[in-house]
Structure 1
Amino acid sequence: ITQYTYADGVQPRSAELFSATGSTDVSEVVKFLSTQGDVKTVSSPRVMTLNNQPALISVGQELFYKIKSSSTASSGGGAVAAEGELVDSVFAGILLDITPEIDDNGMVTLKINPSVSETADTVTSDSGVRTIPPDLKRRQIASVIKVKDGQHAILGGLISSQTGFTDNHVPLLGDIPGLGTLFKRQERVNKVEELVFIITPHIVKNSKSVSLKDLGYSKLNEK
């Protein structure tokens, strides 16, 4: 990466949006991000869409639950009650909604709406079946950016923090029954994670046939 530009009005240490130029390889962008902390790739999807048409990328799972329903109907002989069950679901995971708009100069305006949801807890009945919708923790942002064809846009800001405890003990001595607790200690650990999206738009002309290489699958052709 030879140049990176932060969004207007933000400082480098707290930037949530910036663009990078000088390299067409996403691995170089990941290498740059690794200077800010440990980096792990969650998913690398590719999607095609028409100009001014939304594209949706989802990575997660559907959580199903049952809803009991009852109804009462009147007939000539009296009221008749009926009971049944309905199955519904909620999505937990990563959703990325992108709508591109290409201007006459070949610049691409991206309307980006990423969201991350995860279960806060799970409630089940005695039979082990979920009977109410699970509570979800959701993080969501919305942004509109303009980049060049093939330019990387890096969008962050979806931060989560977790607090836990880890047990440390002296080898061998910490395993002695009864006395091992004297050689153990518990430490509080704070874990902070930020989900970062690397988005690279490519303009595909109508007159051009689309190949796997255009979609970023060049490695399939390697021997």
Structure 2
Amino acid sequence: MIGLVNGFVRGVFVCLVCVVALFGEVCGGRVFTLSSKPNLNARMLLEEIAFECALTLSYEYRAQEALDTTKVIFNFRDKKISDILSIIAKSSDTHYEIENELIRFSHLQTKTFHINYISTARVGSSNTDVVYGQESQSQYLNPYQNQIINQNYQSPYDDAQAKALHQGTQNPMFGKSGTKIYSIDELNFWGELENELIPIIYQEEDSYNPKHPRIIINKGAGLITISATNAQLKRAEEYIDMLKERLSKQVQIDVQIFTIDHSDINTTGINWGKLYELGINTQSTNPPLLSAQTGGLNYGVYLFGQNLSIGQIIQFLGEYGNIKSISNPKIITLNNQPAIISVGNVLRYSQSLIYQTSTNSSTIQNTGYQYPSVFSGVLLDVTPSIKGNEVILKINPSITATKDSFIENQSSALSAPPNLSTNQLSSIVRIQDKQKVVLGGLISENSTITRKKIPILGSIPVLKYLFSYKKTIKQKREMVIVITPTIITDFTEAEMPALEEFAEDFSQEQSQEKVQEKPQNKSQKNKT
């Protein structure tokens, strides 16, 4: 045992025991057993080790101050010098490096992190703006829009909000009336990241708390460079690792959109409670998360288990009338990213504009035309949030349809804005992976006029009323939306969709076509 007593250390006895020498260097392969009395600061112990091992110590930027203020009692047994230095650095919140025979201690460390994420701010917005100006005899109709905006501005929310206000105030009209609905989902990841990191890294009780945080973000390369102490960098690393894990999660959203033409004109909608009574294993006995009676119609958001197939839902809906599949989109989106699905038609109509130019001698009048548009169809906005095996879905469906179905298929622009009917529903639900969310109760009532006549006789004036007739048929149509989220963990070959899954989807489509053909076959038998 070699006893080392430093005259500068008051009443402190440090015992160094060299147990084994593994390498030819002075302390490179040695292990130490050390013990110290109280009130020994870390710098004194470092100087004893440096003297024993013939090493040079270097202190950089407040490292000596941090070591002096760290009062500890060291007790090491059979520890290498690298282990001892690591413990001293951790206890004093410093960083060390060994280069040849030099030990360099520094108070700050610079570290670069990488996040693989797009460099643009992403904004998803959907809006309906229908405004009619009465006193000015002019009409302004903004189409039902859905879009994803990728921009590089610092605050996309403020920009989008200003855009919404601008759209609502431009083209002022006296006595205007109508409706305006504007919703926005925005994510400015890189713009908000620095504001999130500053309070996490630099806290009031830290020894290093600069006025101007030393954080450099290169969003083009996905790099974040931070200069801070070890403890501060550790907090930053934990947050960035958690952030990357959350960002990398993905959800596949499978949407089935059906319409049911009810055979009963007095129906109040589909009774989804009967689906539980049929004995189908839905793995869920929960009541609807949202169910309300509005004007005699059933509006509800219902949850069903993983074992309930689309084929079983189609078979159940077939009891209420004719079923038609509107769309079956599948989309993959990242965690907390909006997925917007739009299915429908864009209808254009003509609008005349009159310009007058007055001079001292004459007035010139010019007429021009513009062709605004209006959206008719289904707009579905879904935003998933993943936590473990659960998915929280923010669902905003909106169904807009024309009062007259004949104008849907016109190839030319309409002469006037079409009359529209709108059904909207908004809900936030929490479900398990691969559970099904059913949105029902979106009912609209349509009236169709059919005219029939006997050839020739039905076209003769006066007599045509005896040989022709017209009939008004009222029909209730309900839209059902089935949403199935599936959490995607890794892009491995084992988790890629197998051929059997595509075959199952195809068989479900075939069963759906058979259900649609049954009412037609019945009508043909009645005619015969």
Instruction: Judge same fold: TM > 0.5, yes or no.
Output: yes
* 1:212 to 1:96, Cα distance in 2 relative to 1, 3 A: farther
Is there any run of 5+ residues in structure 2 with no aligned partner, and where?
1-279, 452-462, 507-528
1:110 to 356, 371, 393: 393
Q: What aligned pairs does 1:31-180 form with structure 2 within 5 A after superposition?
A: 31-35=315-319, 38-71=322-355, 82-103=366-387, 105-121=388-404, 129-162=413-446
How far is the alpha carbon of 1:195 from its aligned partner?
A: 0.9
Bigger CA radius of gyration = 2
Map of 1:171 onto structure 2 = none
8 Å Cα contact 2:348-2:414 kept in structure 1: yes
* 1:42 to 1:70, Cα distance in 2 relative to 1, 3 A: same
Map of 2:497 onto structure 1 = 213
How far is the alpha carbon of 1:31 from its aligned partner?
A: 2.6
Deviations 1:112-134 (A, max 9, x none): 111111112589xxxx7424322
8 Å Cα contact 1:7-1:15 kept in structure 2: no
Give the residue type in structure 2 aligned to 1:7. Answer: P
8 Å Cα contact 1:6-1:17 kept in structure 2: no
8 Å Cα contact 2:401-2:420 kept in structure 1: yes
Map of 1:195 onto structure 2 = 479
Hey, what's the Cα distance between the residues in 2 that align with 1:62 and 1:44?
19
1:2 counterpart = 2:281: yes
More strand by share: 1
8 Å Cα contact 2:380-2:397 kept in structure 1: yes
How far is the alpha carbon of 1:138 from its aligned partner?
A: 0.8
* 1:75 to 1:54, Cα distance in 2 relative to 1, 3 A: farther
* 1:65 to 1:6, Cα distance in 2 relative to 1, 3 A: same
Q: Say which is worse superposed, 33-42 or 139-148, in terms of deviation.
A: 33-42
Which structure's relative contact order is higher, taking Cα pairs within 8 Å and 6+ residues apart? 1
* 1:70 to 1:112, Cα distance in 2 relative to 1, 3 A: same
Hey, what's the Cα distance between the residues in 2 that align with 1:217 and 1:88?
43
Map of 1:174 onto structure 2 = none
8 Å Cα contact 2:343-2:377 kept in structure 1: yes
How far is the alpha carbon of 1:194 from its aligned partner?
A: 1.6
Hey, what's the Cα distance between the residues in 1 that align with 2:322 and 2:413?
38
Q: Structure 2-normalised TM-score?
A: 0.32
How far is the alpha carbon of 1:81 from its aligned partner?
A: 5.5
8 Å Cα contact 2:290-2:302 kept in structure 1: no
Give the residue type in structure 1 aligned to 2:281. Answer: T
More helix by share: 2
8 Å Cα contact 1:117-1:136 kept in structure 2: yes
* 1:76 to 1:58, Cα distance in 2 relative to 1, 3 A: same
How far is the alpha carbon of 1:71 from its aligned partner?
A: 4.0
How far is the alpha carbon of 1:29 from its aligned partner?
A: 2.8
* 1:6 to 1:95, Cα distance in 2 relative to 1, 3 A: same
How far is the alpha carbon of 1:85 from its aligned partner?
A: 2.3
SS in 1 for 2:349: strand
Q: Percent identity?
A: 31
Map of 1:170 onto structure 2 = none
Hey, what's the Cα distance between the residues in 1 that align with 2:324 and 2:370?
39
* Count of paired positions: 199
8 Å Cα contact 2:402-2:421 kept in structure 1: yes
How far is the alpha carbon of 1:23 from its aligned partner?
A: 1.2
SS in 1 for 2:374: strand
* 1:50 to 1:153, Cα distance in 2 relative to 1, 3 A: same
Give the residue type in structure 2 aligned to 1:55. Answer: A
Q: Structure 1-normalised TM-score?
A: 0.69
SS in 2 for 1:134: coil
SS in 1 for 2:315: helix
Give the residue type in structure 2 aligned to 1:84. Answer: G
Map of 2:515 onto structure 1 = none
8 Å Cα contact 1:102-1:109 kept in structure 2: yes
